[in-house]
């Protein structure tokens, strides 16, 4: 999928290792599905030996900020990370896949143990560790493989370790997701990079994602939290694959100041940093939507003409979460009535008789609805437009200045297949 470029920014390779002073690694330590079910005497299916344990480390302490799932059920790592980040300082991340460490009596104990293992191996305080987990919910986390895997994990840390790390956080993801940009702050070239996992159980607010961001720009802790919240609300919180919000969602950012640039006030330097954060998260959000479980197409819905941005956001989200419309996109059927239906049940105030709808892709644009009523169009050309991998849904609901974009994907047979036997 193409990266969306931004002015005054250069996209670079390296993900979470693109910024100065950050090392990473990922290893296979063996948190297997067999370990999850062997107590019940159930024979587990063979598991591909992919990396399942990752680490990101800064050479120096960082200011840090995070956002978490809004689900009332929250994974134990979130409780531990919240406590560790109360002082706005962190220096390393340890994260596992396969097991979410959620709804377990010993969950907090094991999340704290992961922090302790990382801290001892790195010579840090365990309160300076961010811990995260993703995978099956409600199964005890086997800690023994993690204990055995941490020495190898730390030994292999490198300034080029981003690929191994991003592979370790993937679950049903089919593609690694990482982005990095260079930007200017305080007259210095700074870098911000990130990696993300997310494919299913994705819905605002805070889609099922673990997202880790690093920057060599120094940023005041309160400004870092403010910028992260703004960027997440415009990106990760506007992605939906299936309407399910998970229990372990977390996005965190660490800023180590290695570029000798410091953002301490809401000025032009802050805006430059905030724009870089948006550029990275927006591209990661698009990657996540395109890689939705079983997906074949990325849907990008732009709503304009609203009385305010919030109204536009509500409408755009309503369209990309419609199961009926998502199924129509999979079938490459320009069933615009399903769009208007989703617009109509959006909990926002606007005049439905002023709604215009168009569909677009690399093959062209076709207008399907004007002032709330259908237009004559070529079904053959519509099919051609919808045959592309990226589909735009363009909606106008009036002449206001409010606008918003949201991302989703089509709903396919494979989504049911993947989730019909997720634990096996």
Q: In the annotation, is 208 catalytic?
A: yes
**CB count in 10 Å sphere of residue 278:** 19
Candidate list 69, 208, 304, 321, residue with the active-site label: 208
Q: Which residues contact 87 (CB under 8 A, 6 or more apart)?
A: 127
The dihedral formed by the CA atoms of 323, 136, 50 and 70, expressed in degrees to the nearest 10: 60
The set of catalytic residues is 208
């Amino acid at each position: 999928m193409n990266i969306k470029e931004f002015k005054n920014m250069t996209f670079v390779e390296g993900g979470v290792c693109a910024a100065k002073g950050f090392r990473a690694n990922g290893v296979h330590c063996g948190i297997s599905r067999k370990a999850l079910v062997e107590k019940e005497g159930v024979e587990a299916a063979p598991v591909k030996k992919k990396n399942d344990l990752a680490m990101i480390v800064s050479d120096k302490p960082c200011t840090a900020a995070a956002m978490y799932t809004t689900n009332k059920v929250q994974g134990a790592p979130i409780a531990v990370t919240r406590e560790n980040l109360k002082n706005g300082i962190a220096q390393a991340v340890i994260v596992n896949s396969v097991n979410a460490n959620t709804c377990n009596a010993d969950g907090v104990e094991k999340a704290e143990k992961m922090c302790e293992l990382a801290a001892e191996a790195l010579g840090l305080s365990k309160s300076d560790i961010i811990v995260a987990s993703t995978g099956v919910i409600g199964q005890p986390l086997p800690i023994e493989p993690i204990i055995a895997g941490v020495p190898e994990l730390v030994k292999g840390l490198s300034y080029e370790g981003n690929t191994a790390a991003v592979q370790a956080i993937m679950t049903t993801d089919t593609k690694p997701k990482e982005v990095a940009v260079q930007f200017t702050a305080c007259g210095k070239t700074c870098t911000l990079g990130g990696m993300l996992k997310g494919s299913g159980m994705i819905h605002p607010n805070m889609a099922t994602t673990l997202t880790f961001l690093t920057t060599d720009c120094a940023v005041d802790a309160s400004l870092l939290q403010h910028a992260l919240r703004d960027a997440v609300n415009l990106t990760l919180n506007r992605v939906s694959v299936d309407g399910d919000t998970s229990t372990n969602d977390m996005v965190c950012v660490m800023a180590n100041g290695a570029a000798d640039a410091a953002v301490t006030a809401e000025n032009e330097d802050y805006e430059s940093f905030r724009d870089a954060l948006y550029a990275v998260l927006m591209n990661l959000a698009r990657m996540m939507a395109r890689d939705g479980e079983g997906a074949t197409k990325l849907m990008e819905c732009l709503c304009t003409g609203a009385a305010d941005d919030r109204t536009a956001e509500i409408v755009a989200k309503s369209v990309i979460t419609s199961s009926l419309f998502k199924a129509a996109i999979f079938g490459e059927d320009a069933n615009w009535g399903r769009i208007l239906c989703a617009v109509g049940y959006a909990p926002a105030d606007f005049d439905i008789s002023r709604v215009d709808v168009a569909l677009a892709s690399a093959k062209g644009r076709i207008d399907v609805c004007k002032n709330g009523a259908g237009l004559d169009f070529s079904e053959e050309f519509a099919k051609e437009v919808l045959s592309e991998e990226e589909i735009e849904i363009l909606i106008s609901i009036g002449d206001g200045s409010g606008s918003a974009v949201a991302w989703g994907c089509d709903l396919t047979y494979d989504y049911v297949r993947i989730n019909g036997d997720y634990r096996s």
